[in-house]
Amino acid sequence: MLSRLLSKVLRHGPEMIGIRLDRQDWVSVDELIRAIERTAHNANASKRLRTLPTVTRDFILAVVATNDKQRFSLSPDGLRIRAAQGHSIGVDLGYAAKEPPAVLYHGTAWSNWTNIAVEGLTAQTRHAVHLSTDVATATRVGARHGQPLILVVDAGQMHADGYTFSRSDNGVWLTQVVPAAYLSQFRPYESEPKS
C-alpha cells in the first residue's frame, strides 16, 4: 500500500500530501514521512491513507529495496528519494544521454496499434516513452493494458539519426518519441536478439 502511495505522490501528485519536489524530483525522506503523517491525520484524508501503518524511514527503505519494478531511487547519501521514471509531472531527472542497445522493446495493448502505426510512440501523460531491453518485460507491461502487443524499436538507427536516449536508475530506457518508421511488431516465432 505504501508503494502505491509513493508512486502516486512522487510520479504524479506531490501536492496530494503538501510536498514540493526539487527540479530533479528529489524530496527529503524525512520531509516525505512528516507529510504523509500530517496528511493521514487530516479529517479529509482518504480511508487508504488514514489506515496506512506508521511510516518510518525503515518502512520506506524496505519499500524501495523490495519494489519489484524498482520504481524508486535513493540518493547516494540515503537522505532523499524520488521516482525512477513514469512521471506525469514535469521533471528533469538529470539522466545523461547514452547510446542505447541496437534493439529495444515496448509493450502496449493491441488496441493501441492503429494509432501507434500512424503516430509512433509518444510520452502522452508521462515524462518519456519507456522502453525495455527484453521481450519478457515488455510483455508484462503490455499485459497490464490488455492483450499485449510487443513492439521492436530500432534504437540503434534512431540514435544514429540523432534521437536522444537515457537510462533510468532502474534500467528503463527513455526517449521523447519513437516515430512509427522505427517500429515493427515482435513475432513470437522470431528469436530475441542477443545483447
Most confident among 89-103, 135-149, 150-164 (mean pLDDT): 150-164
Give yes or no: residues 48 and 113 share one domain: no
Please tell me the distance from the alpha carbon of residue 123 to that of residue 162, in angstroms, as a whole number. 18
Higher-confidence residue: 83 or 92? 83
Q: What angle do CA 101, 164, 169 make, to 5 degrees?
A: 65
Per-residue pLDDT at 183? 95
Question: Cell triple for residue 108?
Answer: 502496449
8-state DSSP, 11:
I
Q: How many CB atoms lie within 10 A of CB 47?
A: 7
**Residue 19 shares a structural domain with residue 54:** yes
| CA atoms of 130 and 117, how far apart (whole Å) | 17
23-37: per-residue pLDDT in tens?
778 889 999 999 888
- Using the structure block, give the residue that is written with the C-alpha cell 509493450: 107
Q: Is 28 helix (H, G, I), strand (E, B) or coil?
A: strand
Same domain, 55 and 111: no
Last residue of a domain, one of 83, 117, 146: 83
Q: How many H-runs (helices) and E-runs (strands) does the chain carry? A: 7, 11
- How many Å apart are CA 138 and CA 79, to the nearest integer? 32
Mind listing the pLDDT tens digit for each residue in 104-131? 999 999 999 999 999 999 887 677 888 9
Q: Is residue 95 part of a domain?
A: no
Mean pLDDT score across all residues of the chain? 84
pLDDT at 195 exceeding the cut of 50: no
Q: What CATH number is attached to the domain comprising 147? A: 3.20.170.30
Nearest to 27 by CA among 9, 1, 40: 9
Residues 49, 51: Cα–Cα separation, whole Å = 5
- CATH number of the domain enclosing 79: 1.10.10.970
193, part of any domain: no
- pLDDT band for position 144 (50/70/90)? confident
C-alpha cell at 156: 540503434
Model-level pTM greater than 0.75?
no
**Which among 99, 102, 98 is positioned nearest to 154, based on CA atoms?**
102
Q: Which residues form the domain of 24?
A: 2-83
Q: Answer yes or no: is pLDDT of 90 > 60.
A: no
Q: 55 lies in a domain?
A: yes
